[in-house]
Structure 1
């Protein structure tokens, strides 16, 4: 599990490195175009595979032998579906680019078409291996995929850039397909190496496939909402910004700043909670199915409190150092306001992801779907109404994004009856807030005594990180003793 969590962190760090490189080479306009194309790509992927990888992982963890048979059966469904979607996207790329509102994205969408065929198969194979707890193999494949993707991105953007930002954006997409294909070939080789470890079990394939597809649909309904929301945001935000008086280039630049910089930075800390949910979901699901409720609640409480403390640490870090992140790292000082406005997303997103995993482990899949559905609806309404108003352009975007995550998190909390739990732990949570508020004040006070601006920032960051690490270690040790 530690390997898996470490791989997720490393992969996300590589992704951040790639986004920084893109921002510094093709600017916020290029990043905005990239985000537009990628939002469509994410939606298509979810439509093809949905929750099948997760459903297969859950089924395989309970019946390892039967998982192999189901993997083969599901592959026969995913393979033609992925091929069909891939061909359609390639042939209809011009129409899709027009639908997105930027016809110049034709080349970028063509470059993504092969990935639409490969990635669903890759996800399915990872789901099977996750059910067999082959976390090391999965981690290696994710690192291979991301390394190829970011490596080619850094090579091809400068190669295509003399021909214009549009072609450079398309060149960045080539790495996505190449990375996915390399990772798939790697996992196929690993699958054959480990094929004799688990003998295929006797399973009635039609009924088993029907069961796993039902579970997948329940998961898909929840997971599909985020790609739908991203896709709608990518279309609505530039459209409404233009209605408020901005040009098409200015609108896509704003999209690049918010979705390509601010949201990337805001979601970066959630890689810790993502790693936590990836490694805890299977174990919590197994505990619940075996009626080990005490162990289940112990793991759940540990996950929630870890997510809470980490969310406070990372959110206050982004709030305090938004200017330094925007200026020193991305070289886009104007992104500072957006980073600060969305700085508390790590707390909300982390708690939403953790509570969603707990509800899924308890077979309560309707609540996460309902909460996200309401959140996505409110987000869309706020974006459509507020972004078109000249004085509320950015405020409307911030409000929509935060409302989505807040509403979804509150729905999960209510279903898990966590509000009563928060009351019993209220003093502890209040101490967390007071400690980090004091730490923020202390860092600012000490850094002001340093003459150099860059050294000032370095001292402040170092002090904040060291003190946060010590406090996190203390809280986690106490939590383990308590549970």
Structure 2
């Protein structure tokens, strides 16, 4: 791989990670401004918005970049420019149609999401959904421009625009909500409406940065057209047929988690009210499960999948070349890396649920119990993403649709009965069962079409589970000792408990992994470089 491509991949990955981390952590100060009821209202709008935006844009940057890169390699630069010009019009139309659809569907989504007998509730949810819908006009255009730059091996514009978009959005979310609540004496509904409209403001910031890059690099991009061979004249129909084939799998993977949350949005509050919860308590529980704990749970998912998905291009290459040995090796690495990184993280998150929830939000018995139950589900989130990516690598992405639909059907069937039986935790268990079913289907397809044996992964998984168990016991002892004189209900004490306990757990797990050389089998020479930097190895 060329140094330019490596540098570009690193820049894009770094930008994506910074953007995701900003998106994860802004929810903490936002919680202290609007509280659980405000976060619940925010979730009512953002879950459907995420689905709409995923359908409108998921896979577009990658699909467009693959398409343009393909024809640039053939020196048919005009083909990519033709796609770009027509794509801007199509993405604008797609964005406007998505905006209109969400804007006018808002009252119906609101009525299905909250107590339909209370008009003010429906009005508040409708308002916040409509406020966020404006972002749909601009985000598809941004996705296309990012894909265009990536197709020219220029990753900086995408990375920078993502970070700028998040910074502008989050600044507007927090400043806007704070001003409405504390200076204008506004309502929570007004504060959340301003916060959701921030998605549009952030999109403006991201789009301006991309336009700036375009004007900065337009001379170079136009010069490429002078070297165009001009031997291909591909119709727009053929272009977009190829783009859809590239992008479709990413749409289904991208909307998986929002769709599971969407089922909760339609069923959770009403079911909780049916078993005796009042509206405020039900909304608080909804905020805990969809915003507060969810933001914490997906942190280890993002880290694990970022490492494991780097193996997918190698999986594709091995499968196309029918190199069975290399394919099995790459699959072994993908499965083991995701388990190696995710399992200890979620076990630690579950064990330290009380001080972590206190540290990020406030001390809450409900928050603690939900986080403790929800954390292990992160393993399933990670495995679904990885198995779906592998299906794409072996060209069997059609089964991603089947597995997702089965998982959603199970979630929909079990959600209400399990909530009635187990209250808030019931929704988590329904999600876990749905994801587990989807993963089993994906694994069956991988075994069938790739001829993959799971023996080595099973043996290594037992070793990872054993190490995690030892870590759990060691961390548990440290945690119990610390709680003898520190209270997890206090912010400062919670911080001390989390730092010391997490360090102890990470140390135990890392030591066992190095001693048995498991970490070398999974991460290779990178480990020695890290150890030398930490001065743990000569």
* TM-score computed with the length of structure 1 as normaliser: 0.89
1:114-165 residue CA offsets vs partner (Å, 9 max, x unmatched): 2011111222223334444433332222211111111111111111123121
Matches within 5 A, 1:151-190: 151-161=171-181, 162-190=185-213
Matches within 5 A, 1:414-425: 414-417=444-447, 421-425=453-457
Q: Equivalent residue of 2:156, what SS?
A: helix
- Cα distance in 2 for partners of 1:447, 1:393 equals 28
Name whichever of 87-96 and 356-365 sits farther off. Answer: 87-96
Alignment equivalent of 2:505, drawn from 456, 461, 464? 464
1:392-423 residue CA offsets vs partner (Å, 9 max, x unmatched): 32232021111122112111111112996432
Give yes or no for the alignment of 1:25 onto 2:33: yes
2:521 is matched with which residue? 478
Bigger radius of gyration among the two? 2
1:28-74 residue CA offsets vs partner (Å, 9 max, x unmatched): 11111111111121122234335433432333343344444323333
Aligned partners of 1:39 and 1:227 also within 8 Å: yes
Alignment equivalent of 1:204, drawn from 227, 231, 234? 234
Aligned partners of 1:152 and 1:175 also within 8 Å: yes
Give yes or no for the alignment of 1:375 onto 2:395: no
1:225-257 residue CA offsets vs partner (Å, 9 max, x unmatched): 543333232111112222222233222211101
Q: Report the Cα offset of residue 277 of structure 1.
A: 6.0
2:441 is matched with which residue? 411
Q: Equivalent residue of 2:405, what SS?
A: helix
Point out where structure 2 has 5 or more consecutive residues left out of the alignment. 1-8, 115-121, 487-492, 526-538
- Cα distance in 2 for partners of 1:57, 1:277 equals 21
Q: Judging changes above 3 Å, is the alpha-carbon distance between structure 1 residues 479 and 269 closer, same or farther for their aligned structure 2 residues?
A: closer
1:358-377 residue CA offsets vs partner (Å, 9 max, x unmatched): 21122211221111110010
Q: Judging changes above 3 Å, is the alpha-carbon distance between structure 1 residues 34 and 412 closer, same or farther for their aligned structure 2 residues?
A: same
2:14 is matched with which residue? 6
Q: Judging changes above 3 Å, is the alpha-carbon distance between structure 1 residues 109 and 47 closer, same or farther for their aligned structure 2 residues?
A: same
Aligned partners of 1:56 and 1:131 also within 8 Å: yes
Q: Judging changes above 3 Å, is the alpha-carbon distance between structure 1 residues 449 and 403 closer, same or farther for their aligned structure 2 residues?
A: closer
Q: Judging changes above 3 Å, is the alpha-carbon distance between structure 1 residues 392 and 428 closer, same or farther for their aligned structure 2 residues?
A: closer
- Cα distance in 1 for partners of 2:275, 2:410 equals 20
Q: Report the Cα offset of residue 457 of structure 1.
A: 4.0
Aligned partners of 1:50 and 1:219 also within 8 Å: yes
1:82 is matched with which residue? 95
Point out where structure 1 has 5 or more consecutive residues left out of the alignment. none
Name whichever of 315-324 and 72-81 sits farther off. Answer: 72-81
Q: Report the Cα offset of residue 287 of structure 1.
A: 6.0
1:239-288 residue CA offsets vs partner (Å, 9 max, x unmatched): 22222222332222111010111222111211113433665545654665
Alignment equivalent of 1:257, drawn from 285, 288, 312? 288
Give yes or no for the alignment of 1:353 onto 2:373: no
Give yes or no for the alignment of 1:340 onto 2:372: yes
2:117 is matched with which residue? none
Q: Higher relative contact order by CA 8 Å / sep ≥ 6: 1 or 2?
A: 1
Q: How many positions carry a matched residue from both structures?
A: 480
- Cα distance in 2 for partners of 1:76, 1:472 equals 53
Aligned partners of 2:336 and 2:460 also within 8 Å: no
Q: Report the Cα offset of residue 289 of structure 1.
A: 5.2
